[in-house]
Structure 1
Amino acid sequence: MASEAATGTSTDTSTSGSTLPSHPTARAFFDALDLQKQKNDTSTSTTSSNSTRRCSAFVQKQLTSLGWRNRHSQDPHYPVTVLDVSFQVQQMQRGEIEGTYGTGACVWPAAMVLVKYMERHSHLLRQKVVVDLGSGTGLTSIAAAILGAKVVVCTDGCDPVVQLARDNIRKAAAKTTGSSDNDNDDQNAAVMIQGCPIYTQELWWGRDSIHPSFLQQDDNATCTSNIDVVLVADCVLPKLYPIAPLVAEIDQLLPQSTNSMALISYEHRYYPEYDPRDKFLELAQQRGLTVLKVPMEEHDPTYSVDDIEICKVMRTTQPKPKQSQQES
């Protein structure tokens, strides 16, 4: 889960001779900063070794990761830039404690990793019909629209979180267009961001269905046959959400025999009963879905960390149909 913020500011000044903060996370940050400075000084020498340079790169990566993962985790508004578009999403940090918003009302690191991956590979979203599962603050839905999606349906299983996402989407639209035309009280009305309509709705995996009017583009197509991309950011979390309904929902949304895919970001967390990643893979394979891990080289260099994976889920084979009594 998200850790406490180490520091709210960044600085290039060495902390040598100053009083280090008492918080262990902050102390570790400044210790690493000092070490990085020492390694940089050493690496400029002609006698510096390859191992020293590798150590310096490793420390720099850890510092960078610590910075973006924690800098805004406790802020009421989380600032984001996608391409050249800057916006903020509101967070409700006490939502989980108070039982009002659950865990979905803040930006988790895996969501940022997915957004930055999408930014590097925007062709995966361009002119695509996108469904965002467990969208939380709406960050990934907003990013998909900015990256050129054709239609985005932003969903979450908690109604207050859906309201939060809708508010964030409206504010992002106003920020990017300078217009208040999206102030529509109709919850089924789309909010436009750079020409892309974003719809919001409450969706319980395995129970509810996407509103047909959001996706159906012609009279001969079924609702889900138009879906190109399903986004899932940090929802493989069996401590809070059963994995089977999530896999079933992905299976339901991905059209049969198409090139559609789900993009999933997953943060490794310990679960005593089984490995969540292995369980997800097992359940996906049972439904004729292939799960491919995206190489780290394809992640955004800054938003690339060892404990967060991105996977592509695609349909490969049809599940074996159940035999009828006459066949058995």
Structure 2
Amino acid sequence: MNQNGVVILNMEESVNKVVQNEQPRVSTDDDEIVCLDASFFMNDNYQLTEFTFGSQHIQLFCLHSASTDFDLTGQLVWPGAMLLNDYLSKNLDMFQGCTVIELGSGVGITGILCRKFCNKVVLTDHNEEVLKIINKNIELHSCPEDVSPTSHGLVAEKLEWGNTDQVHEILQKHPGGFDFVLGADIYILIMYLIPLLSYFRTKHKCLKI
């Protein structure tokens, strides 16, 4: 302190004192980092649920709620799919005998409805867990005499938008292309959509809700 009562601090000395007196930091439970395995986000407790669209009734396995944190939104039925199925049930003649590929099929509610009046339906998704429930629902709707998952015109394929190898694999199995490309509650960049429509050589139009 000088004669005027002002405290004068020597910064170097002050820093040294702080460093010398600093106590080691004790780790607490709040500091622990918890790493969650991917299985933490997965729920495969599917419930058999019945849906009605006009005169059409279908049953399938799905979740009634799901986490959106691990790209598993396809495990449940979203409102857009309900709206699209309602439209399909009122316009059966438009799709009678046609071939359809669905993007982002989720549990497969739209594709399974289409199979009631379409000639061939290909359901697609990029998530392996979602593809498992799609195939489970396909088996649920297969006829007892069917000997393969494709014998009744309903099949699931893996498709990640922008993956041309997967697109070509689908086209090798279905070289005639498709009459309709369907999609409900999906987000797809136009840079991926235009090539998909070109690859699949749709004869009519793309329906999306």
TM-score (norm 2): 0.66
Deviations 1:136-164 (A, max 9, x none): 01111011111x11111110111211121
Amino acid at match of 1:215: H
Structure 1 residue 118, shift from structure 2 partner:
0.8
Contact 1:199 1:214 in 2 (8 A): no
3-state SS, counterpart of residue 138 of structure 2? helix
1:215 alignment partner in structure 2? 174
- Count residues in correspondence: 161
Question: Which of 203, 206, 209 in structure 2 is aligned with 1:262?
Answer: 206
Amino acid at match of 1:199: V
Structure 1 residue 117, shift from structure 2 partner:
0.2
Structure 1 residue 107, shift from structure 2 partner:
0.4
How has the CA–CA distance of structure 1 residues 115 and 97 changed in structure 2, closer, same or farther, with 3 Å as cutoff?
closer
Amino acid at match of 2:113: A
2:33 alignment partner in structure 1? none
How has the CA–CA distance of structure 1 residues 120 and 200 changed in structure 2, closer, same or farther, with 3 Å as cutoff?
same
CA distance in 1, matches of 2:74, 2:185: 10
* Structure 1 unaligned regions, length at least 5: 1-74, 174-178, 217-222, 237-241, 266-328
Contact 2:121 2:155 in 1 (8 A): yes
1:140 alignment partner in structure 2? 110
Deviations 1:93-117 (A, max 9, x none): 5653573x61011000110100110
Amino acid at match of 1:127: G
Cα root mean square deviation, aligned: 2.6
Contact 1:157 1:204 in 2 (8 A): yes
How has the CA–CA distance of structure 1 residues 261 and 172 changed in structure 2, closer, same or farther, with 3 Å as cutoff?
same
How has the CA–CA distance of structure 1 residues 229 and 111 changed in structure 2, closer, same or farther, with 3 Å as cutoff?
same
1:126-275 superposed matches below 5 A: 126-146=96-116, 148-173=117-142, 179-182=143-146, 184=148, 189-190=149-150, 192=152, 197-207=153-163, 208-209=166-167, 210-216=169-175, 223=176, 226-236=177-187, 243-255=189-201, 259-265=203-209
Contact 1:129 1:228 in 2 (8 A): yes
3-state SS, counterpart of residue 78 of structure 1? strand
Amino acid at match of 1:201: E
Amino acid at match of 1:160: E
How has the CA–CA distance of structure 1 residues 253 and 95 changed in structure 2, closer, same or farther, with 3 Å as cutoff?
farther
* Structure 2 unaligned regions, length at least 5: 1-45
1:1-328 superposed matches below 5 A: 76-82=47-53, 84-93=55-64, 95-96=66-67, 99=70, 102-146=72-116, 148-173=117-142, 179-182=143-146, 184=148, 189-190=149-150, 192=152, 197-207=153-163, 208-209=166-167, 210-216=169-175, 223=176, 226-236=177-187, 243-255=189-201, 259-265=203-209
Larger Rg: 2
Deviations 1:20-76 (A, max 9, x none): xxxxxxxxxxxxxxxxxxxxxxxxxxxxxxxxxxxxxxxxxxxxxxxxxxxxxxx83
Amino acid at match of 2:180: V
Query: Sequence identity, in percent?
Result: 22
Structure 1 residue 253, shift from structure 2 partner:
3.9
CA distance in 2, matches of 1:89, 1:98: 24
CA distance in 1, matches of 2:147, 2:61: 17
3-state SS, counterpart of residue 73 of structure 2? coil
Structure 1 residue 82, shift from structure 2 partner:
4.3
3-state SS, counterpart of residue 141 of structure 2? helix
